[in-house]
Chains A and B, each alone.
Chain A
């Protein structure tokens, strides 16, 4: 392979340097031949390839909504070089074989690395442990386990899962939703708007109480817990307390919880139905603050494609979830970088380095230095565009950003030295 010389990019927003990519890794730019392919990246920022801890690829089972191919193409467009594929497919990723199947789908069709997440419980039913060890010790090497979509509500099962995965440095990623407080119909933040609209309420306490319990269990078991899609100020307070005690807890926030509020629901448009629900602005500010100060460790998309006919129901009946991979970095730039709340180096941490570390990915979230895998994204810090859901790489159209002007940052994405996306390229 002859290699590519990317010239003039500001590494993590700092000094300009050339990046020489050969055989999938960074090499010394001074060793590049004079006639090597050059990519002019002057004015662009180079970040390590983004890592999404929370993606729903829908394959196997709902290939009409998304496939590994289309979902990872969307990821590449969003600057991602790795996605963790949630276990709530059909069949559920709850056995070693199922995890290896997802891994294999990713190897065959992925435009980025596809890392299977294993279910915590068989069939996501919340009753018995899934084959955690077989998923971890098999070819898939699963490290993150989650029943996402459902909460591991049973405290004993959660405790056992946390204990069990300690043997292979696993992590339980909890969808924190106490089903007794926020049942299957809960679809709107419980507050003034849910009361006015007559929508079943999803109180913030239903999240914070589970997180409080789980950090106590993490302390008890000496294990690792990760909190998915933190959406409330109360949860942020619990996380601060837990981290202050030295409990091994990490947390993620989604782009939509960083920007959108419950006000979107007043139209009853199911595009804005998501679980946990959009929260009022005081919660949005709390999660921004927590991301800025490190209480929340990572941004994760919860990219959740749905076929139109699963969304075009009455609000309470529609499937929850929204697209996120293509626009995540744009939203982070809009609400965190432009107002000066995150530096580019911190963006690299919360969207690549820390997620890679939480998932124990050897080749992701690494420094942009010689010898490392060439996973990186070139970011245009000034471009803006109006989001058009029709141009998405995703098979689905449940895009809450449609029609909204946002940054349009991703100029190119390189996965193991190969360009998986280039703006303007066919």
Chain B
């Protein structure tokens, strides 16, 4: 894999490889010593043009547990006002000889532009989209599917894809990169996706998306195997998208009353951070079938998997016993962890 820009670029096989490897990585997370030598000598830069402590930390931990050097560069503040172009910033960091740029940007498309500029310069740097504007957030979608797959497998251990599973994505789809990436990934996995939002928060052209669209959450919930609640951003509350937060909750919040509409075992997800009491009630967030903390835990394992897929070529420093005996064409680095004190 050259870059991870869009969840839509992944086919069923690639998703399976990433999620399977993430399962292996997740085992490492339960060991007292978590560091693997797989990406020793590789350098990844968290190039964040927009603050995101959670996503940045998740990538940082994922990289470090694979023994990669992870450097955080906060490029927050408009480069337009600093007089440096986005291209300058990207090429400057890339020119330091790094192996991967993990890019977060408030503007849609920035990682694509970065990948194109790097290609023009023949710079062999992988680009990983850590969230671009209101466009995509592919690792979030991967960790959501990872979490859901585990959940579905508790009842159906042989489950391989999401064929026949019904999943609702509820809330501000227009401005949600999480929603776009999840629609792409979940539909590739075979799920039937329903989007629920007030019409003001449905993206233009949604009728061309491979989803069912509804503005009636009560009618949708009883049919669902999982429901993903989206965060309502502060700026939407004053943007005229809906009259009041109270009205939003009544129409589109996963309230205590609505919990009763869910089938037993239906999963509740939220990418965080939550507005408790607005789009999700405390009862829902903390319910037995809430997977919200599992999503956070899955973030590190999934990002380890993705980083390994991007950076762990045949010359990656694998522990003895890591090669062979595993899925063909795939080198699992988890056979052995680095003894304490040996890691970087």
Provided the pairs A192-B204, A193-B205, A267-B112 are in contact, do residues A312 and B86 lie with their beta carbons within 8 angstroms?
Answer: yes
Q: Whole-angstrom distance from the CB of B18 to the nearest CB of chain A?
A: 23
B204–A201 CB distance below 8 A: yes
Partner of B203, one of A195, A311, A313: A195
B87–A314 CB distance below 8 A: no
Q: Whole-angstrom distance from the CB of A396 to the nearest CB of chain B?
A: 14
A199 to B180, CA, bound (A): 12
A192–B109 CB distance below 8 A: no
Contacts of A267 in B (CB 8 A): 112, 116
Does A404 reach chain B (CB closer than 8 Å)?
no
A191 to B83, CA, bound (A): 32
Q: Whole-angstrom distance from the CB of B199 to the nearest CB of chain A?
A: 13
B205–A196 CB distance below 8 A: yes
Partner of A315, one of B107, B175, B203, B208: B107
Q: Which of B88, B109, B177 has the most A CB atoms < 10 Å from its CB?
A: B109
Provided the pairs A268-B113, A315-B107, A316-B133 are in contact, do residues A195 and B204 lie with their beta carbons within 8 angstroms?
Answer: yes
Does B172 reach chain A (CB closer than 8 Å)?
no
Does A198 reach chain B (CB closer than 8 Å)?
yes
Does B60 reach chain A (CB closer than 8 Å)?
no
B105–A314 CB distance below 8 A: yes
B177–A198 CB distance below 8 A: yes
A270 to B175, CA, bound (A): 21
B110–A192 CB distance below 8 A: no
A314–B205 CB distance below 8 A: no
A129 to B288, CA, bound (A): 65
A32 to B117, CA, bound (A): 58
Residues A203-226 near B (CB distance < 8 A): none
Partner of B108, one of A190, A269, A312, A315: A315
Count how many chain B residues have C-beta atoms less than 8 Å from C-beta atoms of the other chain. 33
Contacts of A315 in B (CB 8 A): 107-109, 113
Contact with B along A317-336 (1 / 0, CB 8 A): 10000000000000000000
Does B206 reach chain A (CB closer than 8 Å)?
yes
Residues B205-240 near A (CB distance < 8 A): 205-206, 208
Partner of B133, one of A198, A201, A270, A311: A198
A201 to B134, CA, bound (A): 12
B204–A309 CB distance below 8 A: no
Q: Whole-angstrom distance from the CB of B135 to the nearest CB of chain A?
A: 3
Q: Which of A198, A199, A308, A314 has the most B CB atoms < 10 Å from its CB?
A: A314
B203–A314 CB distance below 8 A: no
Contacts of B133 in A (CB 8 A): 198-199, 314, 316
A53 to B36, CA, bound (A): 66
Partner of B205, one of A192, A270, A312, A317: A192
Residue of chain B at shortest CB distance from A317: B80
Partner of A313, one of B85, B108, B175, B204: B85
A313 to B113, CA, bound (A): 9
A193 to B109, CA, bound (A): 13
A194–B204 CB distance below 8 A: yes
Contact with A along B160-198 (1 / 0, CB 8 A): 000000000000001101001000000000000000000
A198–B80 CB distance below 8 A: no
A236 to B77, CA, bound (A): 41
Contacts of B80 in A (CB 8 A): 313, 317
Residue of chain A at shortest CB distance from B208: A192
Does A386 reach chain B (CB closer than 8 Å)?
no
B112–A268 CB distance below 8 A: yes
A195 to B202, CA, bound (A): 9
Partner of A317, one of B86, B117, B132, B136: B86
B206–A195 CB distance below 8 A: yes
Does A197 reach chain B (CB closer than 8 Å)?
yes
A339 to B57, CA, bound (A): 58
Provided the pairs A312-B86, A313-B86 are in contact, do residues A195 and B108 lie with their beta carbons within 8 angstroms?
Answer: no
Contacts of A312 in B (CB 8 A): 85-88, 117
Q: Which of A201, A308, A311, A315 has the most B CB atoms < 10 Å from its CB?
A: A315
Does B79 reach chain A (CB closer than 8 Å)?
yes
Contacts of B79 in A (CB 8 A): 313, 317
Provided the pairs A198-B177, A312-B86 are in contact, do residues A317 and B78 lie with their beta carbons within 8 angstroms?
Answer: yes
Provided the pairs A198-B134, A198-B135, A317-B80 are in contact, do residues A191 and B205 lie with their beta carbons within 8 angstroms?
Answer: yes
A197–B109 CB distance below 8 A: yes
Contacts of A197 in B (CB 8 A): 108-109, 135
Q: Whole-angstrom distance from the CB of B175 to the nearest CB of chain A?
A: 8
Contacts of A316 in B (CB 8 A): 107-108, 133
B134–A314 CB distance below 8 A: no
A192 to B208, CA, bound (A): 7
Residue of chain A at shortest CB distance from B203: A195
A191–B177 CB distance below 8 A: no
Contacts of B177 in A (CB 8 A): 198
A residues bordering B, Cβ < 8 Å? 190-199, 201, 267-270, 308-309, 311-317
Can you list 27 residue pairs at the A/B interface with Cβ under 8 Å? A191-B205, A192-B208, A195-B204, A195-B205, A197-B108, A197-B109, A198-B136, A199-B135, A201-B204, A267-B116, A268-B109, A268-B110, A269-B113, A269-B116, A309-B85, A309-B88, A312-B85, A312-B86, A313-B79, A313-B80, A313-B87, A314-B86, A314-B105, A314-B106, A314-B133, A315-B108, A317-B86
List 10 other contacts, CB 8 Å, given A308-B85, A312-B88: A192-B205, A196-B203, A197-B109, A198-B134, A199-B108, A199-B109, A268-B112, A311-B85, A313-B79, A315-B109
